[in-house]
Each structure stands twice: as C-alpha cells, then as structure tokens.
C-alpha cells in the first residue's frame, strides 16, 4: 500500500524488512517520553508500528517528536530494525520490529479528543461518540465492526454475481411503496405541490424488473421508514433486496439459505452454524413451540400444551380458559426449582406486563417432590403430570400461562427469551438460523373494518388457498371478518437468527385480477389501487412471470455477526432514537429561501 507518503502501512512491517530505510505515516496512538528516547506507537487502520526516536541518532527528529501529542498525524522516515531480544511485543503483528526514526514530520496536529482513542475498552457516552463519530471510528472495536460489515457486503455481492443475479440501483425519489410505515416525502420544486416518497423498500420496482425479464435482481438497498424509533431501528437502513423469476417458495428459500451459509462462512468462519439445512417451522408451529415468530433455537425450553392435563383439574382459571377456547401452556426452566418466592413474583409481574392475567408455577425439587400453589387444588399427581408434560426434570421450575390462544404462547415465549438470557442458556458463538413460513395472508383490522396484510401486501396465497381468495362472501368491495380469504395462508417466509428477525419475503401474486381481489380485501378501491399500484397492475397485463423474493436487514445481520445488540454499533453514521444526526446536526431548520423555492410555508408543528 505504498503511496507518496509511505512505503508500508503501520500493519505491514516484519522481520523481512529489517535493514530497509522506509517511511510510515499514521496517527500517534501513544507517546512515551524517556528523555533521550521517545517512543511513538504509530497507528493506521492496518495496525500499529513502534517508532523509536533517539536524541543522539537524530536530534532534529527528536525535537519534532518532543512536540508530538496523541492523535497527531506524522510521517516518519528511518531504518527498520529488529527489536532487542526480550522487548518484542507478541500482541502486535509488527511486534518483532521497530522503526528507528531519522526524520519526523508533523502532517497534522490534533486537539485532545473527547474520549481516548487508545483505550477502546473505556466506556464513552454514546451521544459524545455520535457527535465525534469520525473519532469513534478510529477506535479499534468500532473499526473492527465496520470492516466486518464491509466484508459482509462484499461476500453478498460475490455470491449473487456468482449465481447470475443482476445488481440494479432503483431510484431513491419514487412514489410510495407501502411497507406499513410512514413515508419520508420530498417536495418537488419543478412540480409545486407534488412530492416524491423515499422508498420504504424497492418492492414494486423489483417486481417490475421481473416483468422486464431481468430474471434475477439484487441490490444493497437503502430504505427509509418514518417510524417512532425502537432500539434496533433507524429511519434509514440497508437491506439486501432480491427477486427471482419462475420460482416457487422452495426455490427462493433454497437459494437464500445457501447464500446465507456461504456469506456467514466468509465473514465469520469461526462461528458455527447450528443447523444446516435451516429448521423450518410453520408460523403456527413456531408460536406453539416457541411463542414467537422469530424463535431463538440456541436453547430448548420449548412450550408445551398442557390442555389435556389441565382439563378437569378443578382449577378454575384453567377450566374457564379451556372452556372459552383458550390455551394452557407451560415451559420448564432448567434448574430453577430453587428460585425464591420473590423471583417467581417478579416473573409473574413480567407475565402480566406481557399481557397475561397471571402465572402459575410448579417446582419439581431435586428429590422429585412437587411444590406449587395449585397443588392443593389439583393434587400432587396432576401437578406432577403437568410438569412432566411441560418437559420438566427434577430441579426444574415449570411456568404456566392460561389465556387466549396465541396470547398465552406469546407471553410464555417472551418469558422464555427472558429466562434464556438470565440463565445464560444460549451459546454466544453459535449462529442459529431458521425459517418461519406459512403466515396468515391477512389479519382483521377491527378499527377500519378491513383486512390488513400480515406481511407484504403483494404476497401470494399458498396454491391450495387461492380458491379462498376467489370465493366471495357477499360484496367484494366490502371486506368482512367472515371472508373465507381470511383463512388463507401466504407463501411468506421469514428468516430468523438467534431470536432476531433477519428479514422476510414471499412469492408474489402475478395475476392482475387476483392482486386486485387481494387489495380490495385490504380496503382499497379500484381508483385507490390505480393511484398507488397502477404501474404494477398495468405491467401484469404485459406478461408477468411467476416471481418471488426476499429482503434481509444488513444492519441487523452485521450486528448479530459482530455480537452486538444495537444496530448503531455497525453503522458508520447512525441517527439517534429521535432521528438526529448529532455530528452533522440534522435535521436542521430549512432556510426561508428553501421554503419559498418549493412554494411551501411552515405553519407550525401538527397538533396531537
Ligand atoms: N419488501 C419486503 C420488505 O421490505 C421484502 C420482500 O418481500 O421482498 O420487508
């Protein structure tokens, strides 16, 4: 990496270079002044090389080095020497050598940074890190993650090109493509009163590319969603977006799975992939077994239906729940039989916070004895039978939720995740990918009296459910909760990794009439459809191949691969929870001239 300023990077020097006169350039990572000798650790993104400046050997260089401070940018020319035996540093790749300075040139001075660059383990306030992100990126952990992310994108590109995908950039200034969030809009200067939307995803465009015959498309796509930010979301984020033609669900899943394995091995070869092929669960099965549509498979502790054991138990809560069509479900927390009363109370509070009415516990002591607040009512034998059905062994604590179908599983699923973390059940090294598919096409929106797509509004039903969509109940333009289509399952698949949703996709409806039927279930009028999806609906009249695809969140993927839990840690320049860029100080008030040019006037913040 030789340039005008340097012969080697700060990570390159080895024994074989000893005896050569050469130049290095970089940042002063640390400086030790021993009087006659000054040591500079010179750093760049490739590594650190020790520089020795000896007052006798090089008085000018020594005088310059005496004025140098941490984070100055310097160029050092000198002779590469082997370090004296016993002074080598095995922690550095360059640790066997040092540069004996003949000349030290200061290329740039530096103020003292708000946090130390050379002590990466020292906590720094995130707001300060974001304000000085260019300094934060100098720190080793942040740098390492950004490099890993770059390798991730590189590997993604390589695999797709190897498999005949065409990389296409779709525009940023488009028309709304709904993904269930609010659009960011950009007012048009040339067409006053009109706006562009920034893409929530390239969904419609990638489908149009299939109509164009591109066959296989992918993009490292920037997406924008104006949402209230949660811990792991950002107003703009990056997806690996892809679409394929002439495919069934199986084809997309097979390609994506092979691609994900290849990419994971390229980026983090040291991390084992728990199961390949990836386990597949129907949405229903995932809820019943893990209480989640993104199950963490790094540990067991599965949910079990205890309906059979609870029926006729005499415990009112169980009986009433079952009579009302609800579910009694339990899981066995390993080794928690000795949990204190206050721990159980705390878990009960948690279950309530997650939406359940309560939590029942059964402890199976090491001796096999049963201890439970309901033992007096249901009897020891039945309590034990329930514990066994929940998968408990002696020493375990069984937790039971009785509630509405799905709510019961979801509450217990969240407890499962909580306990998994508390008990440290997950192997942190493992990558446990799995598929969840066959989601319901729609869910009934009580408030608006229509169906909503549970995922992507363009998804196709599974082949055996197409008829449900075309079987009309009453007026097709008036959705009703009784519509048979409400029972349809979609060819929709989500990919989960270690308890996070990595992304999802589907096989799409490629027939205009069926898509219109599906949109009308979601309350769209013909005119509304024409406005929102006109190009796609028209395109479907010119020969649309069967097609499907997926999008995976690259930020989240990079986050998990680098052991993080916050996507800001893998983004070079993220925004805060309130959507601000603390470094560039955006968003910022528009200049009056800008409003005028767009024909706009700011009338104050919206009420409510
Ligand atoms: N466009 C979808 C999303 O952003 C992904 C897909 O169905 O391909 O979630």
Residue 278 CA to ligand 1 center (angstroms) comes to: 20
We report the CATH number of the domain holding residue 353 as 3.30.1360.30
Instruction: Verify whether ligand 1 is closer than 6 Å to residue 456 (CB atom).
Output: yes
> Is residue 220 a part of any domain in this protein?
no
Residues 37 and 77 in one domain: yes
pLDDT above 70 covers what percent of the chain? 98
Residues 452 and 421 in one domain: no
Residues 347 and 402 in one domain: yes
> Is residue 421 a part of any domain in this protein?
yes
At 117 the pLDDT is: 97
3-class state of residue 270 by DSSP: coil
Task: Choose one of 87, 108, 129: the last residue of a domain.
Answer: 108
> Is residue 554 a part of any domain in this protein?
no
Instruction: Verify whether ligand 1 is closer than 6 Å to residue 179 (CB atom).
Output: yes
> Is residue 330 a part of any domain in this protein?
yes
Q: Which domain holds residue 459?
A: 440-489+511-544
Residues 460 and 404 in one domain: no
Instruction: Verify whether ligand 1 is closer than 6 Å to residue 454 (CB atom).
Output: no
Q: Which of 350, 343, 380 is nearest to 362 (CA)?
A: 380
Spans of the chain, pLDDT less than 50: none
For the chain, the helix, strand and coil percentages under 3-state DSSP, each to the nearest 5: 30, 25, 45
Instruction: Verify whether ligand 1 is closer than 6 Å to residue 505 (CB atom).
Output: yes
Instruction: Measure Cα distances from 263 to 229, 279, 561, 562 in Å.
Output: 29, 18, 11, 14
Number of neighbours of residue 323 by Cβ within 10 angstroms? 9
Look at ligand 1, atom 4, and give the residue with the nearest C-alpha.
Answer: 201
Instruction: Verify whether ligand 1 is closer than 6 Å to residue 518 (CB atom).
Output: no
At 231 the pLDDT is: 63
Residues 451 and 480 in one domain: yes
At 227 the pLDDT is: 86
Instruction: Verify whether ligand 1 is closer than 6 Å to residue 504 (CB atom).
Output: yes
In sequence order, the β-bridge partners of residue 97 are 82
Residues 419 and 529 in one domain: no
> Is residue 135 a part of any domain in this protein?
no
At 180 the pLDDT is: 79
Residue 521 CA to ligand 1 center (angstroms) comes to: 20
Residues 325 and 371 in one domain: yes
Residues 403 and 468 in one domain: no
Task: Choose one of 80, 108, 136: the last residue of a domain.
Answer: 108
> Is residue 528 a part of any domain in this protein?
yes
- Total count of domains within the chain: 3
Residues 420 and 460 in one domain: no
Given the CA of residue 505, which atom of ligand 1 is nearest to it? 7
At 371 the pLDDT is: 95
Look at ligand 1, atom 7, and give the residue with the nearest C-alpha.
Answer: 505
At 471 the pLDDT is: 76
Run of H or E including 535:
helix 526-539
> Is residue 28 a part of any domain in this protein?
yes
Residues 479 and 519 in one domain: yes
As a whole number of angstroms, the distance between CA 370 and CA 364 comes to 5
Residue 272 CA to ligand 1 center (angstroms) comes to: 28
Task: Choose one of 79, 108, 137: the last residue of a domain.
Answer: 108
At 333 the pLDDT is: 98
Given the CA of residue 239, which atom of ligand 1 is nearest to it? 4
> Is residue 205 a part of any domain in this protein?
no
Residues 352 and 470 in one domain: no
Given the CA of residue 459, which atom of ligand 1 is nearest to it? 7
Residues 323 and 399 in one domain: yes
At 232 the pLDDT is: 66
């Amino acid at each position: 990496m030789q340039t005008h300023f340097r012969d080697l990077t700060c990570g390159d020097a080895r024994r074989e270079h000893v005896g050569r006169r050469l130049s290095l350039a970089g940042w002063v990572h640390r400086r030790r002044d021993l009087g006659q000798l000054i040591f500079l650790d010179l750093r760049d993104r490739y590594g650190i090389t020790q520089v020795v400046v000896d007052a006798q050997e090089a008085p000018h260089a020594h005088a310059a080095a005496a004025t140098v401070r941490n984070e100055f940018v310097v160029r050092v020319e000198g002779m590469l020497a082997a370090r004296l035996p016993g002074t080598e540093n095995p922690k550095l790749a360059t640790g066997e050598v040092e540069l004996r300075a003949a000349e030290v040139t200061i290329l740039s001075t530096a103020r003292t940074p708000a946090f130390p660059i050379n002590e990466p383990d020292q906590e720094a306030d995130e707001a300060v890190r974001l304000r000085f992100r260019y300094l934060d990126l100098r720190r080793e952990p942040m740098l390492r993650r950004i490099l890993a992310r770059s390798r991730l994108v590189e590997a993604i590109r390589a695999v797709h090109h190897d498999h005949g995908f065409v990389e296409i950039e779709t525009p940023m200034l488009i028309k709304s493509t709904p993904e269930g969030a609010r659009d960011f809009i950009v007012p048009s200067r040339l067409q006053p009163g009109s706006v562009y939307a920034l893409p929530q995803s390239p969904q419609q465009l990638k489908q149009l590319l299939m109509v164009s015959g591109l066959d296989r498309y992918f993009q490292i796509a920037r997406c924008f969603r104006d949402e209230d930010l949660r811990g792991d979301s950002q107003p703009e984020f990056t997806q690996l977006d892809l679409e394929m033609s002439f495919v069934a669900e199986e084809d997309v899943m097979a390609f994506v799975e092979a691609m994900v394995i290849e990419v994971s091995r390229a980026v983090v070869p040291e991390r084992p992939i728990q199961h390949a092929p990836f386990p597949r669960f129907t949405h229903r099965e995932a809820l019943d077994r893990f209480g989640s549509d993104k199950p963490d498979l790094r540990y067991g502790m599965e949910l079990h239906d205890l309906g059979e054991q609870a029926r006729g138990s005499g415990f009112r809560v169980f009986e009433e729940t079952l009579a009302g069509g609800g579910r009694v479900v339990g899981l066995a927390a390993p080794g928690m039989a000795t949990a204190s009363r206050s721990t159980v109370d705390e878990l009960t509070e948690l279950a309530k916070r997650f939406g359940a009415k309560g939590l029942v516990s059964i402890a199976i002591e090491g001796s096999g004895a049963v201890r439970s607040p309901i033992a007096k009512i249901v009897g020891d034998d039945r309590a034990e039978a329930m514990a066994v059905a929940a998968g408990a062994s002696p020493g375990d604590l069984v937790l039971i939720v009785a509630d509405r179908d799905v709510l019961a599983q979801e509450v217990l699923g969240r407890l499962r995740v909580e306990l998994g973390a508390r008990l440290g059940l997950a192997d942190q090294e493992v990558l446990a990918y799995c598929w969840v598919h066959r989601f319901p096409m729609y869910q009934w929106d009580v408030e608006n009296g229509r169906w909503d797509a549970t995922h992507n509004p363009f998804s196709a039903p599974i082949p055996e459910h197409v008829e449900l969509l075309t079987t009309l109940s009453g007026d097709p333009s008036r959705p009703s909760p009784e519509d048979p289509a409400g029972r349809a399952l979609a060819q929709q698949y989500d990919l989960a990794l270690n308890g996070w949703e990595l992304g999802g996709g589907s096989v799409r409806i490629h027939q205009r009439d069926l898509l219109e039927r599906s949109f009308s279930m979601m309350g769209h009028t013909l005119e509304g459809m024409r406005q929102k999806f006109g190009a796609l609906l028209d395109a479907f009249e010119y020969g649309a191949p069967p097609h499907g695809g997926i999008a995976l969140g690259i930020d989240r993927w990079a986050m998990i691969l680098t052991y993080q839990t916050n996507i800001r840690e893998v983004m070079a320049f993220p925004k805060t929870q309130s959507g601000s860029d603390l470094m560039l100080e955006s968003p910022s008030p528009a200049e009056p001239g800008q409003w005028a040019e767009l024909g706009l006037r700011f009338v104050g913040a919206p009420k409510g």
